[in-house]
Amino acid sequence: MTRVITANLQANLSTRQTLADLRKILDDEPDVIGFQEIGGLFRAAAMRALLARRGYAFVRRTHRADQGAAPLAYRRRSYKRLLARTWPLSPATKVGQAGAGPATLRAKYATYALLENRATGEVEFFAVAHLAPSVYLPVRDELHAEQIRRLVLLLVRYRKVDARYLLGDMNTTDLAGRLLPLTDAGLKAGRPVATEGHRAIDWIFSDREGTRQAIRGLNTDHDALRGDFP
């Protein structure tokens, strides 16, 4: 079984709160974790140290162009890393003051990795992304659609691996509309699970069948989402 978790850790939390959330997530013993809103280099370093103590490698590109990338972690005893890169989703874009986030949303990247399953020898693809918020506004709507298009191109590029997983805060509940290109690319979303209040905006897509459930009781304003894939 492969267990994956996606977790938005809310950028304005303290490092102590974030590490408490991370410990709770690690208690579920995931094989791969996708993160969003980790809150800067200091907090990333603290997370990396905790993850390393628990047997995980942390994939986060740190050169200037990739600061908008969402990182991922994988358990070393479960997977061997073959490749880790970032994939551009959109440039920095002026979206106006209305809605969540700043008036100019930073350039966005997906982080992805090809990992070899140590138990089966299969090569599996994992990607994590954090898409534009407040998509009911026209400029953000267009930006979000472009980010989805770019994700589809990435998924198609790696369509011949043994399994694909896409994790992240997609900032939409619209599985039948905005997220439809991802399922058209061969991925399954499972049943929607509320992770931000009553809204299902965090998703785990895979071309394998699996189950999904929320991890509640975190400090962050999102519940984490766990997926189990036999």
Cα–Cα distance for residue pair 129/106, rounded to 1 Å: 13
pLDDT category at 33 given cuts 50, 70, 90 is: very high
Domains of the chain, first to last:
2-229 (3.60.10.10)
Please, what's the b/e burial string for 141-177 (b: 16 or more CB within 10 A of its CB; e: otherwise)? eebbbbbbebbbebbeebeeeebbbbbbbbbbbebee
pLDDT for residue 136 is more than 80: yes
Task: Identify the pLDDT of residue 25.
Answer: 98
Which tens digits make up the pLDDT trace of 55-95? 999 987 654 544 567 999 999 999 999 999 999 999 988 87
Task: Identify the pLDDT of residue 139.
Answer: 86
pTM: 0.95
Task: Identify the pLDDT of residue 69.
Answer: 74
Cα–Cα distance for residue pair 152/155, rounded to 1 Å: 5
Task: Identify the pLDDT of residue 67.
Answer: 56
pLDDT for residue 123 is more than 70: yes
Task: Identify the pLDDT of residue 194.
Answer: 98
Other beta carbons less than 10 A from residue 16's beta carbon: 10
pLDDT category at 8 given cuts 50, 70, 90 is: very high
Which tens digits make up the pLDDT trace of 179-225? 999 999 999 999 999 999 999 999 999 999 999 999 999 999 999 99
Helix, strand, or coil (residue 182): helix
Which stretches of 60-122 are assigned E, i.e. beta strand?
A: 72-75, 79-90, 93-94, 104-105, 108-117
Q: What average pLDDT is seen over the chain?
A: 93
Q: Which helix (H) or strand (E) holds 43?
A: helix 41-53
